[in-house]
Structures are given as structure tokens and as C-alpha cells.
Chains A and B, each alone.
Chain A
Amino acid sequence: MGSNPPVDDWATDYDIFDASYVKDPVPVWNELRDKCPIAHTERWGGSWLPTKYEDLQAFVRMVPALSSKNVLVVSQKREEMEFDPVLAEYGNSAPPITSDPPEHVPMRRMLLPLFSPKATEAHRSFTENLCHQLIDGFIDKGACDGALDYAVHIPAKTIAHVIGVDEDRSDEFVGWIRGLLEEGNTDLEKRNKYNRILRRFFGELVDARKLAPRDDLISHLLAQEINGQPVARKAVVGMCNLLLVAGIDTTWSSIGSALWHFAQHPEHRRRLANEPELFPSAIEEMLRVYAPVTMARLVTEEVQVGDVTFQPGDKVLMNFPAANHDPDAFEDADKVILDREKNRHIAFGIGPHRCAGSNLARMEMDVALRVWFERIPEFELSDPDAVTWAGGQVRGPRHLPFRF
């Protein structure tokens, strides 16, 4: 990341992997929104970067002109993947996030009931116990890394528990996901390596459940039918893979960003500690202000937006995080207001691909912050310069040295 040439003109040459952008992208979005409002770059294969809330609201619905077939910023040549034996055996799609209608709908509908509000509430006590155990592990020291000792484990172990894979291997899962999404976002060799590891892991698990079904999520998915046909084995591998990939870095980032915020803003921290009825609106506000996820779309038909033309083959980045800072959609958009009443933020995306795990992610954030505040209401950064961020398509803190 650090070796890219510096950016002079964000409107024509932006770089979402630029270190200063990863650290604080808000000033760039605000400048672009006033100036363009859709920026372009040739970097990383070329893409467009919208910044306005109303543009995002429109773009997610331009299906399949703006297709989900490729949601990553940096793509790979098709031929390179077709000759990979692991991917040939276990597939390389991640439905429903990589599908367009009509295939998208049945795949998505297989997952939705497993992540409904009721289904996710059933996992709350698991996550609560987990958060307490994590805090038990460091509270006597009076210090911890909020990202690595706390936030990361909550989604990693919860999603392992929900999928029915060994929770004790969660550190390994996190390593794979970081390899895939963080280093692998720009380093295709790394991406392939971790993609193969994940596909093989879920491929073998799916094959095992096919032979000997259990009462778990994988067996449940294998038993589903689409148009009267059993769902394809590769599709189930792809879905499980997606749940792990979409469930960890994202929620880790949101929990981490919220803790980072409260560590530095004593007035907000104390208010939340004293007025716990603010948790729901405060969590939505954290999701809005520090929305972690930017997914791409692949242009399949020419689209004209204002004086900009998207050409087939172009990428358009669904910059949900920037839309959440648009002053035309939010009053005092850059200000954190814990009891914000009107908050139509789009951190979980909008339209047909609305995050299928949003209920689970909200439950995890709610538990993570409530348990933290109950046990550690007063905390601060011990070394602000040691905070590090991951960025690009999923943005959040990866080191948070706290003392309390």
C-alpha cells in the first residue's frame, strides 16, 4: 500500500488504498462531493467513485447494468482462475453477493431466514458469554488491544458458531480473511492463496455433510431446492465462504471504530454510560459515521449519469461510507450525534443486496458495546500513534492500544 505514488488530484486520480485516505477519508469525500461529485481513477484497473447519497440510492437499483458479478476493486484475469484445480473443484462464486437477478433471489432467500431478527436473537447469549470471557482475560491488566484482544474475536467466533465450524479455529479463520481482504485486496497472489485455503476448507466440510448430514447450517443449506433441483454443491461452498468472509472483517471494523470513537470522546463515552437507553441510536450513528464497507459493481451497459458516462467493463464503487456523510441527506453530517433521530444511513448497503447479515451484525455490536461499557466504562487510547487502520473495501482499526 505505502509504495503507491502520492495523489495530487483526487477527482481524476484517487486511490482508495492511499495511506492518508485509509486513515481519514472524510475530507476527500467532502471535497469530491462539492467538486465532481463522481471521481475517476486509472489506478488499480480503473474505477468511478460516487460520493452523493442520492447517487448511491440510484446506482444500487441499476441492475444488471451495474452488475454484482465482480464486487472487488482489483480484478483478476478470468483465465488465471479457470486453471486452478481447487477452484475448479469447489467453485469460485460467492452467492448471493456475486449474483444478479434472476439467480440472486433464490440464493439470497436461502440465507435470509437463517439471519432473521428472531434467528439472530437466539445467538445473543453465546455472544454475551464470549464478550465477558474476553474481558475476563485482560481486565486485571488495565490495558488491552481493543482490536486484537476484543473486537476481532466477537464476529469471528460468533459466525463460526452460527455456521457450525470449530470456534477454537477462529484465529486461523481471521488469518485467512485478512489474507484475502486486506493484503489480498491488492496482492492477487495472496488473494488466490487464501481463497484456495477457504474454498478447500468449506469444500471438504460440505462434502462431509453431504455424506453425513448434521443438524447445522451447512446441512440445512444442502437440503434446499431451487426450482425443484437440489442446490448445487459449489453454491453451498460459495455461500459458506461468503458468510465467513462477509461476517468477520466488517463487524470487527464496526465494533473497533465505535470503541476508537468512545476512547477519544469522553463526553460521548460518559453520556452513553449514563444513558444506556441511547445504545440503539448510538450504534446506528457509529454505523453511519464509520461505515466500513465499499463494494464494487461491474458496468455491463453504458450508463449516463449527469456528465459522466460509465462504459461496459468499468468499475463503479458503491461508496456507502461517503453517502453517509452527505450533508444533503444528513443534518450536521460530519458530527456524531448519539441520539440522532433521523438516520437513513446505508452502512449495510441498500436495494437488492442489502446486507443479509445486518441483524446478526447489529446484535453483535449491541452486545459488544453493552458488555464493554458495563465492565469498562472509562477507557482511553494509551498510545494514539500506535493505532493502525485497514482500508480499501473494508475499513476499520486493526490496533487499538487502550488503558483503563
Chain B
Amino acid sequence: MRVKVNADKCEGHNRCCALAPEVFDVDDYGTATALNDGVVPPELEEKAKLAVQNCPEYAIEFVKD
């Protein structure tokens, strides 16, 4: 599974990073990026899903490989 952050939509609520710090990072200006090219190992899939479901800007999506 992979995730992608849409930088145009992201406004830095930092919910993704708080819920799945292994998967997301947020810079000093509040823009999030997916770590590890967005690749989510199976054991982190639940956390990544939580991040998607709690982003108020709908800025994170799952992408099919």
C-alpha cells in the first residue's frame, strides 16, 4: 500500500504526523510529506488509514502501485 499527500490541499493540521509518525512528516511550515516514498508496510496500514480519515483537508490519498 502507498499514500500520497497533496501539497496543494495540505494546510498543516499535523493530524497525520500525530497519528502515524512512522508514515508522515510535517515541516516547519506545516506541509506534510509521506516518508519512504509513501510506501506503507503492512504493520502500519491501520495507522496510515487513521491519518487519511482524520485529515480535515482531505489531502491524503491511497495510491495503487
Contact = CB atoms under 8 A, between A and B. Distances in A.
A55 to B, nearest CB: 15
Nearest to B55: A344
B42 to A, nearest CB: 19
Contacts of A344: 53-56, 58
Given A116-B28, A117-B17, A280-B18, A350 B12 contact: no
A218 interface: no
Contact of B14 (A113, A350, A358): A358
A109 interface: yes
Nearest to B27: A116
Q: Name the prevailing secondary structure of the B interface residues.
A: loop
Contacts of B13: 348, 354, 358
A302 B12 CA distance: 30
Contacts of A343: 53-54
Interface in B42-65: 50, 53-58
B56 A350 contact: yes
B26 A117 contact: yes
A188 interface: no
A358 B29 CA distance: 13
Given A112-B12, A117-B14, A341-B50, A350 B28 contact: no
Interface in B3-34: 11-14, 17-18, 26-30
B21 to A, nearest CB: 10
B29 A112 contact: yes
A318 to B, nearest CB: 13
A354 B12 contact: yes
A346 B57 CA distance: 9
Given A341-B53, A344-B54, A344-B56, A112 B28 contact: yes
Given A109-B29, A112-B28, A352-B11, A346 B54 contact: no
A64 to B, nearest CB: 17
Contacts of A113: 28-29
A116 B29 CA distance: 7
Contacts of A117: 14, 17-18, 26
A134 B11 CA distance: 35
Nearest to B29: A112
Nearest to A355: B13
Interface of B: 11-14, 17-18, 26-30, 50, 53-58
18 contacts: A112-B28, A117-B17, A341-B50, A341-B53, A342-B53, A342-B54, A343-B53, A344-B56, A344-B58, A348-B13, A350-B56, A351-B57, A354-B11, A354-B12, A354-B13, A354-B30, A358-B13, A359-B14
Given A117-B26, A350-B11, 18 more contacts: A112-B12, A113-B28, A116-B27, A116-B30, A117-B14, A118-B28, A119-B28, A341-B50, A343-B54, A344-B54, A344-B55, A345-B56, A350-B56, A350-B57, A354-B11, A354-B13, A358-B13, A358-B14
Closest 7 CB pairs of A and B: A113-B28, A354-B11, A342-B53, A344-B56, A116-B28, A112-B29, A350-B56
